[in-house]
Amino acid sequence: MAANSAVPVPASHLDVARDAEPATRAANAAMAARLPFGDKADFEAAQRGLIAPVPGGAVRTAGGTVLWNLGEYAFIDGELAPATVNPSLWRIARLNLANGLFKVTERVYQLRGFDIANMTVIEGASGLILIDPLTTAEVAKAALDHYGAHRPKKPVVAVIYTHSHIDHYGGVRGVVDEADVKAGKVEVIAPAGFMEAVSGENVLAGPPMMRRAQFQFGSLLPRGPRGQVDAGLGKGVARGTPGLIAPTRSIEKPIEEHLIDGVRIVFQLAPETEAPAEMHMFYPEFGVLNMAENACPLLHNFIPLRGSVARDPRIWSKYIGDAIALYAPHTEVLIGQHHWPTWGRAKVIEYLEAQRDLYKHIHDQTLRWMNKGWRPAEIAERIDLPPGLAERWSVRGYYGTVSHNVKAVYQRYLSWYDGNPCNLHPLPPAPAARKFVEYMGGAAAVIERARADFAKGEYRWVAQVLKEVVYAEPGNLDARALCADALEQMGYQAESATWRNAFLYGAQELRHGVFQMSARAGAGADTLAGLSTDNFFDLMAIRLDPAKAAGEAMVINWNFTDRDERLVLTLKNCTLTHRLGETAPAAASVSLKRATLDEIMLRRTTIADALAAGAVKIDGDLSRLSALLAMLEPSAGMMFDVLTPGEGR
């Protein structure tokens, strides 16, 4: 990959990361003095039940390509945090190095540290029940092979997806063959709305989410005390080939109990919590409660930095409360699909009550101040965790933060608009920045004052004001360098892994430019195949270029022979709309399999080739269909500008 050449950065400005400034050292020392670092219980829990670590600490392809490498974190080798890492974040970074095959209790095992998520293995009567097969096929296979090296080898009889995020389903093709699923040999179970959630969040807004995820996870940062040390939920996201096999069974009722290969599993739906489609599970005969990703030993996100629909912490708290009432009195071990378990009924209840109160407190206090007329940034500065929660390790903001979660609550109820009409229709960032800098006496004057504030440790303000200079003058290397320095110090102080990664990756892009990577499709073949036809045409609609559609109007009927589905697609007013189950007088009527349309959209074939092969039949004007397809933009590249305005803005 190569740096973006739009704004050349001379070698003199390609500085290595700076050391911690005095203000950063003082802030991190204050954090070290404030929290109970003498409590080692989590370190004991993280290692309990270890059978064997990840072989060599890495996963490689047959050709030797490294897909996962815990050796990159060898620098995390002691209790004392370097000055460039928040000591609380250093602690979770050490804990997240626990890895390998772990025994939770009889017949319940977990594979941790192969990826950001865990794969849980339940030994059934005749085979294995796998819960959340990680992100990619290669890494999931390596994890299952590691299990098989230390436990009796049995076939996989069921896969359960706890929720609709890719690190919990993307590796499924590494652990089961889709032919076995279709033959009924393997069941795939997921919560209601799973496929809709996968397509809605990950497909329609896929490219910008992937770009923003680079900042959240720090995937392109060097590993080290001045770079990426953790991702909060784990070390990072495994590389490899993600895929998807659609569920064969959907959990539809709020509470459902099923016997899966002789194992009783009680499913509790928890929609609109950490994911749009999510569920908890209780395994009565083992006394194990699995809270999926709704009760990790940290503060989670109400909106992750990568972006999502705002989550509902009120209902999130309620579902945790329901789990306490329904299952905690019978639970001996609490597990999740990240991190390590909690053993002992009393500790499980205490842990879950803190999680329940954590989400409800942030929700309620944000609403309290909203009702006093306070604005998002003001509330975010006002609210912190209360006594009883603030000193608990299990609710610290390693992934989410109180600050940005407050803003998510505000957005959920009152939108992005803070109510001040001055903020209702402001100038876009670039022209506004040019006016700000002009009013402040020009870029040189701003930079001079910012240097003085940097020396005082006022990094937040320095980044805030220099952002305007960078947007006004993207080629101003002094502004870029000083803004990068400020972001870097903010990263060194951040307790949240995601904040640290975002600040440090922002600094890296200001110094080195945007890295250009190979283009990726907006949706992979598995994901595209899993889309409902309704969602597929929504995806088509967002790729329509109005300039190419200007003055055009047409109606096309679609008949999908493999799904017995009909649809009428209308182009009018530079907009595509569709109605399922209908036909209409049309310029053309198209008959084909949905898989053929998927291939056309993935650019693996063309409409002409599909027609020649007999895979598509058209009654009417072929030119209208060809014209329509020509109006659709290809999947956009995701490496767009973030720290600078970009071209044409």
- The pLDDT assigned to 9 comes to 53
Tell me the β-bridge partners of 531. Answer: none
In whole angstroms, give the CA distance from residue 383 to residue 379: 6
Specify the long-range contacts of residues 147-154, CB closer than 8 Å, at least 24 apart. Answer: 147/101, 147/109, 147/111, 147/121, 149/52, 150/51, 150/52, 150/101, 151/101, 151/109, 151/121, 151/123, 154/123, 154/124, 154/126, 154/127, 154/128
In whole angstroms, give the CA distance from residue 566 to residue 583: 7
Reply yes or no on whether the pLDDT at 39 is more than 70.
yes
Mean pLDDT of 517-522: 58
- The pLDDT assigned to 518 comes to 65
- The pLDDT assigned to 1 comes to 34
Do 81 and 32 contact (CB within 8 A), yes or no? yes
What is the residue type of 549?
A
Mark out the alpha helices in 543-613 (DSSP H runs).
546-549, 594-601, 607-612
649: confidence class by pLDDT, cuts 50, 70, 90: low
Read off φ and ψ for residue 68, nearest 5 degrees: -155, 130
Q: In the structure encoding, which two tokens stand for residue 453, read together? A: 């504030």
Count of alpha carbons within 13 angstroms of residue 156, beta-carbon side: 28
In whole angstroms, give the CA distance from residue 349 to residue 153: 35
Distances (CA, A) of 453 to 33, 391, 410: 26, 32, 31
| DSSP classification of residue 56 | G
Q: Domains of the chain, with CATH numbers?
A: 35-407 (3.60.15.30), 426-516 (1.25.40.880), 525-630 (3.30.1050.10)
Q: In the structure encoding, which two tokens stand for residue 593, read together? A: 């399999």
4: confidence class by pLDDT, cuts 50, 70, 90: very low
Reply yes or no on whether the pLDDT at 623 is more than 70.
yes
What is the residue type of 455?
A
Strands across the sheet containing 108-112: 50-52, 100-105, 108-112, 119-123, 128-131, 156-160, 187-191, 249-251
Mark out the alpha helices in 205-248 (DSSP H runs).
206-217
3: confidence class by pLDDT, cuts 50, 70, 90: very low
189 versus 13: the higher-pLDDT residue is: 189
In whole angstroms, give the CA distance from residue 294 to residue 527: 24
pTM of the shown model: 0.93
First to last CA, the chain: 25
Mean pLDDT of 401-405: 98
Distances (CA, A) of 478 to 473, 486, 495: 10, 12, 28
Q: Which residues contact 226 (CB under 8 A, 6 or more apart)?
A: 16, 17, 18, 19, 84, 488, 492, 504
Q: Taking Cα atoms as reference points, which of 212, 648, 215 lies closest to residue 430? A: 648
464: confidence class by pLDDT, cuts 50, 70, 90: very high
Could you identify the residue written with the tokens 């990426």? 228
- The pLDDT assigned to 78 comes to 92
Angle at 40 between CA 292 and CA 490, to 5 degrees: 75
- The pLDDT assigned to 615 comes to 95
- The pLDDT assigned to 520 comes to 55
Please report the DSSP string for 331-388 in residue order. -SEEE-SSS--EESHHHHHHHHHHHHHHHHHHHHHHHHHHTTT--HHHHHHH--PPTT
Across 396-443, the runs of DSSP E, i.e. the strands, are: none
Q: Taking Cα atoms as reference points, which of 185, 183, 156 lies closest to residue 172? A: 156
Q: What is the chain's mean pLDDT, rounded? A: 94
Tell me the pLDDT tens digit for each residue of 285-303: 999 999 999 999 999 999 9
In whole angstroms, give the CA distance from residue 232 to residue 613: 50
Tell me the pLDDT tens digit for each residue of 409-431: 999 999 999 999 999 999 999 99
- The pLDDT assigned to 364 comes to 97
15: confidence class by pLDDT, cuts 50, 70, 90: low
Q: What is the DSSP pairing of strand 263-269 with strand 255-260?
A: antiparallel
What is the residue type of 486?
A
- The pLDDT assigned to 647 comes to 72
In whole angstroms, give the CA distance from residue 547 to residue 570: 17
- The pLDDT assigned to 7 comes to 52
Reply yes or no on whether the pLDDT at 371 is more than 50.
yes
Tell me the β-bridge partners of 520. Answer: none
Q: What is the DSSP pairing of strand 279-283 with strand 58-60?
A: unpaired
Tell me the pLDDT tens digit for each residue of 75-123: 999 999 999 999 999 999 999 999 999 999 999 999 999 999 999 999 9
Read off φ and ψ for residue 413, nearest 5 degrees: -95, -40
Q: In the structure encoding, which two tokens stand for residue 32, read together? A: 């070290």
Reply yes or no on whether the pLDDT at 27 is more than 70.
yes
Distances (CA, A) of 194 to 202, 289, 577: 12, 21, 24
In whole angstroms, give the CA distance from residue 237 to residue 630: 36
Tell me the pLDDT tens digit for each residue of 565-594: 999 999 999 999 999 999 999 999 999 999
Mean pLDDT of 338-348: 98
What is the residue type of 9?
V
Tell me the pLDDT tens digit for each residue of 250-281: 999 999 999 999 999 999 999 999 999 999 99
Reply yes or no on whether the pLDDT at 524 is more than 80.
no
Reply yes or no on whether the pLDDT at 370 is more than 80.
yes
Do 507 and 488 contact (CB within 8 A), yes or no? yes
Q: Taking Cα atoms as reference points, which of 451, 614, 532, 497 lies closest to residue 91? A: 497
Do 137 and 242 contact (CB within 8 A), yes or no? yes
Tell me the pLDDT tens digit for each residue of 103-116: 999 999 999 999 99
